[in-house]
Amino acid sequence: MSEPGGERRAVLFADVCDSTAMYEAMGDAKALALINRLLKLLDKQVNANGGITVKNLGDGIVCQFGEADAAFRAACDMQAAAAKLGAEAKPALRLKVGYTYGPVVLKDRDVFGDTVNVCARLVALANPSQVLTTLQSVEALSPGLRGRCRELYATRVRGRTGQLKVCEVLWRADPDVTKVDADEPTAPGAARSWVLKLTIGGDSFVVRDDAVLRIGRDASNEVVVATEHASRLHARVFSREDHFVIADQSSNGTFLMVDGSTREVRLRRSEAVLGERGWIGLGKSTSKHGDHVVRYRLERAT
């Protein structure tokens, strides 16, 4: 066993998305067989990148690597394998991955410590087909790989002081990323080719790359929301570094549900990058449909 802080390792969590829906739609036997095929492919990618599979957790795995670069490459290879295997699955077979690099405690082939806890938080935050890591982990990468990461938002982790800066790994091969930049609104550079359209109560508002849109109860806001759950100035929406961002400034928090995700994020005086489409809840969860929910989506600039 190593002493606390004596080993620096990369820890990676990979989890199958919406496995319950797969079991219901495909039947237990077929769904289990497909998921087991994926887990074997993931284990193969771990080994190919010099890592060790620590354990299986339900429909996912925990693994560790000696270097941040190895975890980065394994995460990309895992997503590529999942995309290929799950292309024909109904419902879609998708994977979410989180990895971190830092000090760990090693005992009986298992890993423990803050680095592991942060990794568990990242995989919980990740959307389907997404790889999340931390800014600290990105800084541990070789220069060529750092350019394939982008900073998203800051969040808090239970038991930690201060905020954690979350980054996304652009895991697809470089030619694909370049194509997405030109054609898809979720890629870097989207804010310059696309506008963000917000809709609430039958009214629509557009945010361009040179504007800031304020949302709240007060009449001075560009978007006035007449609900007791919203603060006078609840949130701001604006563009930054080719992305559209929402910044919470409220008392009750801002709830963000990205289309295609199964997990809602609550912002408390923090920011998040908005994806292609989704819902924003002002002071209450987006699941409680009402006059506090804003629908957003990216549209081509005219």
Using CA atoms, how far residue 103 sits from 67, 114, 118, 238, in Å, is: 12, 8, 12, 36
Q: How confident is the model at residue 76 (pLDDT cuts 50, 70, 90)?
A: very high
Tokens 């024909």 locate to 88
Residue ranges of the chain that CATH labels 3.30.70.1230: 7-172
Rounded-to-integer distance, Cα 269 and Cα 94, Å: 31
CA atoms lying within 13 Å on the CB side of residue 118: 28
Percentage above 70 pLDDT, the chain: 89
Using CA atoms, how far residue 106 sits from 11, 70, 202, 295, in Å, is: 11, 18, 56, 46
Rounded-to-integer distance, Cα 234 and Cα 226, Å: 12
Report the side by side order of strands in the sheet with 293-300. 203-207, 194-200, 293-300, 277-282, 254-258, 265-267
Rounded-to-integer distance, Cα 195 and Cα 300, Å: 6
What does the block give as tokens for 260?
């295609």
pLDDT at 180: 29
Tokens 């969040």 locate to 155
**Among the residues of the chain, which ranges form H helices?**
19-26, 28-48, 68-85, 114-125, 135-139, 143-146, 174-183, 190-193
Residue ranges of the chain that CATH labels 2.60.200.20: 190-300
Q: How confident is the model at residue 74 (pLDDT cuts 50, 70, 90)?
A: very high
Query: Cis peptide before 143, with omega less than 30 degrees from 0?
Result: no
pLDDT at 55: 92
pLDDT at 300: 77
Q: 93-121: per-residue pLDDT in tens?
A: 889 999 999 999 988 888 899 999 999 98
Residues ≥6 apart with Cβ < 8 Å to 39: 56, 59, 61
| Higher-scoring residue by pLDDT: 18, 178 | 18
pLDDT at 174: 41
pLDDT at 193: 64
Model pTM?
0.59
| Higher-scoring residue by pLDDT: 39, 191 | 39
Exposure class string for 60-89: b at 16+ Cβ within 10 A, else e: bbbbbbebbbbbbbbbbbbbbbbbebbeeb
Tokens 């038991």 locate to 159
What does the block give as tokens for 137?
């982990």
Topology given in CATH for the domain delimited by 7-172: Alpha-Beta Plaits (3.30.70)
Topology given in CATH for the domain delimited by 190-300: Tumour Suppressor Smad4 (2.60.200)
Q: Is the pLDDT of residue 159 over 70?
A: no
Q: 250-301: per-residue pLDDT in tens?
A: 989 999 998 877 788 899 888 888 878 899 999 999 987 777 899 999 887 7
CB contact at 8 A, 103 and 112: no
Average pLDDT, the chain: 83
Average pLDDT over residues 226-255: 87
